[in-house]
Structure 1
Amino acid sequence: MTGPGWSPDARTVRDGPLTWAQHEWVQWIPTDTDTSYEDNICAALPGRNLPVGQVAAAVRDVLARHEGLRSLVRRAGREDSLQYVCPVDDRLDDVIRVMEDEASFRRRFDTPWRRTCFRIGEQWPVKVVLDAAGGRVRRIDLVVDHVAIDPWGMRVLCDDLKYALRARAAGREPFGSGPAPEQPIDVALCEISPAGRAYQRRALGYWERRLGEIGKALDNHVPFAPSRALLGRPGDALPGASQPGGSRPGASDQASRPGGPGQGEFRSCWLTSRRAGSAASAIARATGVSPSAAFLLAFGTAVCAVERSSRAGIFAISANRFSAGAERSVRKATMTMPVLLPAVSTGSPGAAYRRALADCAAQQLSGHRFANADPYATERMCEEILGGLYKTGVAYPRFSYMDEGVADDLNTLWPPGDDGFPGDEDDRAVTFSPPRPLGARYMMTVLHRPAGAVFSLQWSDATGWGETAEDMLLYVEDLMVWAASECAGSPPALGGAGPAT
């Protein structure tokens, strides 16, 4: 950990404040702990059988291009946190590790360096491991602490490293011309400039209005414990759900699943689905609305069903990159934006769905403009405006969507297979992951390709969502398939037996 009196034990070339996106991370996440590896972002690239020296030179090129990968972070609250950029050659030996002829390294998904717990005040937040044989590199493993990167940034890092590898193989220097990427310190200085402060006033005004709308819409809502419905009470059913006590064939009690009670605080489960992926693409073609909006609306409807509410407040994650320099930047830029979503209505469901989808997309569009808001101020607003709804399942869930353009290089996230997805007969198999010491209280993450989608749900033991998590994921899939059918028939039910047809 670091504090106000701390200074880096390293040479530095410049220093400056943290960006709001970095603050949003270090404000909540204990990055200097033995569990911080839980949120590392990882990718693997082919080594192209290049000599180790050429690959190491390409890695140096990328580190020289992106200051955030060679910076140390002093964590000291909103006013005093700083980042220090180090000379590129000072710590290359700490960053690059060569694993020569080690058979255990050839395992693609479970490797020890992916569980590196970066001490961001003492270490650069990146590790590059080279799988080599006979002095030539077979694969390059990238591991980066989330304080320094997000999934979009990982795509940029992978693209830049591929470019540098080609250049070094051709005997030339990469990145000799063209616009430079944004650097975190420059972004942070812009955010606290007069123009940045003017933007912040507009952004915080937007957040205040949107949170007010969420609070007003949910004013009469009583935070709901899902177990009351799932355990069953006579005549007490969830809106749009099957009767309490009923369950799909094969459903089981949470205690019998991996990650049952008593094994950890944060849990997750995930589902791979060809149907949901193709449905999202079909909805986008038919409506002109992005697949992310369709998944977001389906998640919001599932939250409404579980929480017994006609509305839900969701915090959708924005890529938060609006300039050419930002798009070329390797840094954490993602921020959240508040969205108020309705459950899909049982009366005129097709028309209601189309209206809700258009409104969801409009909220995403307007919210993207003001996602980069001071996280200390927005969190204080959430607590003050939402009151008793603060940090509850009906007004606090997070939602993240990534298409293959962003997430494709994060290939350990995709399931194995020719196209990354199982056959139709294997769909609807929800997998529960082992418990984690860190995680989200309520969150859905969607990875989407034309061939299918992978979506996961995270929750903490305190929320009770684990009792209905499997049904929520399957409900999201069913809603996507139903919407892609042009809303034929009645909307699907939470806990239903299968996708709508």
Structure 2
Amino acid sequence: MTGPGWSPDARVVREGPLTWAQHEWVQWIPTDTDTSYEDNICAAVPGRDLPVGQVTSAVRDVLARHEGLRSLVRRAGREDSLQYVCPVDDRLDEVVQVMEGEASFRRRFDTPWRRTCFRIGEQWPVRAVLDAAGGRVRRIDLVVDHVAIDPWGMRVLCDDLNHALRARAAGREPFASGPGPGPGSGGLGVEQPIDVALSETSPAGRAYQRRALGYWERRLGEIGKALDGHVPFAPSRAPLGRPGGSQAGESSDQGEFRSCWLASRRAGRAAGAIARATGVSPSAAFLLAFGTAVCAVERSPRAGIFAISANRFSAGAGRSVRKATMTMPVLLPAVPAVPSTPPLSALSALSADSPGAAYRRALADCAAQQLSGHRFANADPYATERMCEEILGDLYKTGVAYPRFSYMDEGVADDLNTLWPAGDDGFPGDEDDRTVTFSPPRPLGARYMMTVLHRPAGAVFSLQWSDATGWGETAEDMLLYIEDLMVWAASGCAGSPPELGDASPAT
């Protein structure tokens, strides 16, 4: 671990503060522990049968282009945390590891190095493992600590490495030289973490922060008002999320965070159908379905969800590897809404919203909240977390007002995640297969979170929770309910809306 007064045992090209997105990560995650590998981001890039030397040069090109991949981080709270950019050649031999003939038999990502626990104050946060045979590289496994990258950034890293490999194979320099936002940027306006951090604390950055924090205060106030008087769901037990799970209060030697996932053709296709019919993004449809499931479990008509934003609004940010993702608050209703009392007359019954009308209105509102929230997602995480605690009060860190939601389409996450199942298109051949798979317990994880990976052919969506939350009791039902909601909405909201705990397959 690092702290105030610590300085790196390395040569330094430049130094500066952390970005708000980096702060959001390091204030919660013990990145210097033996469990920090849990949130590494991994990818595999074809080696093109190039000589090891050429591939090593291509990796060096990428490290020179992106400062965050060759930086050390001092973790010392909001004011004193710093990052130190090192010369690209100082630790290249630590980053590039050659495994001669040892990785070819492995499935994608089934590798020991993806479980690297980066000591970010002592090590650069990246490994490039070359699967080689006869001095030629067949595959490159990339493993990066989340403090330095996000899924969008991994796509950029893969694209840049592929470009560098082609250039080196042709005997060319891959990236234009010239001035960039910071020394060693490799030109082309690549956004570097230190420059972002400095801009966030500039006069313009402080003006933006005032607007962003004002937005957060208003939105959290709306969530607190909507949930005023709600009694948080108290589970009878907190099982491990599998048959025969432990009772509340029992401990596990493997960890206290659980997860399960479902690969669904019908939900992914339904999201595309909803988007075509409404003009609203698939992410909004999944977010609304998740919010409805949370409402059902927490026995509440509304839920506050923190949706993750890509938080990239410039060309330089789009070309950057750095971690940029941040959360934004969204207030969602349970849809289809169920009235608390029956209509008093036939006339009022006729004028009441149909489930379909309620869904379409809620979906449009959800998308509008996403759009406005994206503008102010990059807010000081220390300030926003303090607001959450002060404004939400007893609802702080509860399932009804604290869950996270992450959505990635195939352009970002197609080859980056271990959850894509095997198969021609990555999904079960039998559309009636609704198998929810529970993963082993983890020492690190989210208290409440849903992640969606979406392709046109289908979607993989997963839940995470901790033993203390009680979501393990209903996790399987929640995933199946979300699938049913998506299919029901794609049908034009025909027929009776699904209910939580209805085990019948979606149609």
Secondary structure (helix, strand or coil) at the match of 2:305 reads strand
Secondary structure (helix, strand or coil) at the match of 1:495 reads coil
Asked whether the 8 Å contact 1:304–1:311 carries over to 2, the reply is yes
Compute the displacement of 1:417 (Å). Answer: 1.0
Secondary structure (helix, strand or coil) at the match of 2:68 reads helix
Measured at CA, do residues 224 and 230 of structure 1 come closer, stay the same or move farther in structure 2, by a change above 3 Å?
A: farther
Aligned residue among 181, 199, 209 for 1:200: 209
Asked whether the 8 Å contact 2:260–2:436 carries over to 1, the reply is yes
Which whole-Å CA distance do the structure 2 matches of 1:110 and 1:414 have between them?
13
Report the more deviating stretch, 27-36 or 263-272.
Answer: 263-272
Asked whether the 8 Å contact 1:99–1:105 carries over to 2, the reply is no
Compute the displacement of 1:231 (Å). Answer: 16
Measured at CA, do residues 80 and 295 of structure 1 come closer, stay the same or move farther in structure 2, by a change above 3 Å?
A: same
Asked whether the 8 Å contact 1:105–1:111 carries over to 2, the reply is no
Compute the displacement of 1:106 (Å). Answer: 3.3
Report the more deviating stretch, 491-500 or 48-57.
Answer: 491-500
Secondary structure (helix, strand or coil) at the match of 1:322 reads coil
Measured at CA, do residues 184 and 178 of structure 1 come closer, stay the same or move farther in structure 2, by a change above 3 Å?
A: closer
Compute the displacement of 1:326 (Å). Answer: 0.1
Secondary structure (helix, strand or coil) at the match of 2:322 reads coil
Structure 1's unaligned 5+ residue stretches are: 234-243, 251-262
Secondary structure (helix, strand or coil) at the match of 2:104 reads helix
Compute the displacement of 1:415 (Å). Answer: 1.3
| Equivalent residue number for residue 224 of structure 1 | 233
Which whole-Å CA distance do the structure 1 matches of 2:488 and 2:246 have between them?
20
Secondary structure (helix, strand or coil) at the match of 2:350 reads coil
Compute the displacement of 1:423 (Å). Answer: 1.2
| Equivalent residue number for residue 318 of structure 1 | 309
Which whole-Å CA distance do the structure 2 matches of 1:308 and 1:69 have between them?
45
Q: Give a deviation string over 1:219-240, Cα, whole Å, max 9, x none.
A: 010001244899999xxxxxxx
Secondary structure (helix, strand or coil) at the match of 2:261 reads strand
| Equivalent residue number for residue 155 of structure 2 | 155
Compute the displacement of 1:177 (Å). Answer: 11
Compute the displacement of 1:245 (Å). Answer: 16
Compute the displacement of 1:413 (Å). Answer: 3.4
| Equivalent residue number for residue 259 of structure 1 | none
Asked whether the 8 Å contact 2:15–2:194 carries over to 1, the reply is yes
Q: Give a deviation string over 1:102-135, Cα, whole Å, max 9, x none.
A: 2576342321100000000000000000000001
Q: Give a deviation string over 1:269-322, Cα, whole Å, max 9, x none.
A: 000000000000000000000000000000000000000000000000000000
Measured at CA, do residues 199 and 246 of structure 1 come closer, stay the same or move farther in structure 2, by a change above 3 Å?
A: closer
Measured at CA, do residues 436 and 232 of structure 1 come closer, stay the same or move farther in structure 2, by a change above 3 Å?
A: closer
TM-score computed with the length of structure 2 as normaliser = 0.90
Measured at CA, do residues 50 and 345 of structure 1 come closer, stay the same or move farther in structure 2, by a change above 3 Å?
A: farther
Structure 2's unaligned 5+ residue stretches are: 176-183, 333-348
Asked whether the 8 Å contact 2:149–2:324 carries over to 1, the reply is yes
Measured at CA, do residues 59 and 87 of structure 1 come closer, stay the same or move farther in structure 2, by a change above 3 Å?
A: same
Secondary structure (helix, strand or coil) at the match of 1:177 reads coil
Compute the displacement of 1:101 (Å). Answer: 1.7
Secondary structure (helix, strand or coil) at the match of 2:303 reads strand
Compute the displacement of 1:264 (Å). Answer: 2.3
Which whole-Å CA distance do the structure 1 matches of 2:269 and 2:261 have between them?
18
Secondary structure (helix, strand or coil) at the match of 1:462 reads coil
TM-score computed with the length of structure 1 as normaliser = 0.91
Which whole-Å CA distance do the structure 2 matches of 1:448 and 1:407 have between them?
8
Q: Give a deviation string over 1:440-480, Cα, whole Å, max 9, x none.
A: 00000000000000000000000000010000000000000
Compute the displacement of 1:346 (Å). Answer: 10
Q: Give a deviation string over 1:176-215, Cα, whole Å, max 9, x none.
A: 9996210000000000000000000000000000000000
Compute the displacement of 1:416 (Å). Answer: 1.2
1:299-448 correspondence to structure 2 within 5 Å: 299-341=290-332, 348-425=354-431, 427-448=433-454
The root-mean-square deviation of aligned C-alpha atoms, in Å, is 3.6
Aligned residues: 478
Q: Give a deviation string over 1:136-193, Cα, whole Å, max 9, x none.
A: 0010000000000000000000000000000001110011999621000000000000
Asked whether the 8 Å contact 1:37–1:118 carries over to 2, the reply is yes
Which whole-Å CA distance do the structure 2 matches of 1:193 and 1:445 have between them?
34
| Aligned-residue identity in percent | 92
Asked whether the 8 Å contact 2:66–2:185 carries over to 1, the reply is no
Measured at CA, do residues 426 and 499 of structure 1 come closer, stay the same or move farther in structure 2, by a change above 3 Å?
A: closer
Asked whether the 8 Å contact 1:283–1:289 carries over to 2, the reply is yes
Which whole-Å CA distance do the structure 2 matches of 1:359 and 1:330 have between them?
32
Which whole-Å CA distance do the structure 2 matches of 1:143 and 1:367 have between them?
31
Which whole-Å CA distance do the structure 1 matches of 2:350 and 2:300 have between them?
11
Which whole-Å CA distance do the structure 2 matches of 1:189 and 1:134 have between them?
47
Asked whether the 8 Å contact 2:257–2:446 carries over to 1, the reply is yes
Measured at CA, do residues 8 and 232 of structure 1 come closer, stay the same or move farther in structure 2, by a change above 3 Å?
A: closer
Measured at CA, do residues 50 and 228 of structure 1 come closer, stay the same or move farther in structure 2, by a change above 3 Å?
A: closer
Q: Give a deviation string over 1:365-389, Cα, whole Å, max 9, x none.
A: 0000000000000000000000000
Asked whether the 8 Å contact 1:301–1:344 carries over to 2, the reply is no
Asked whether the 8 Å contact 1:158–1:409 carries over to 2, the reply is no
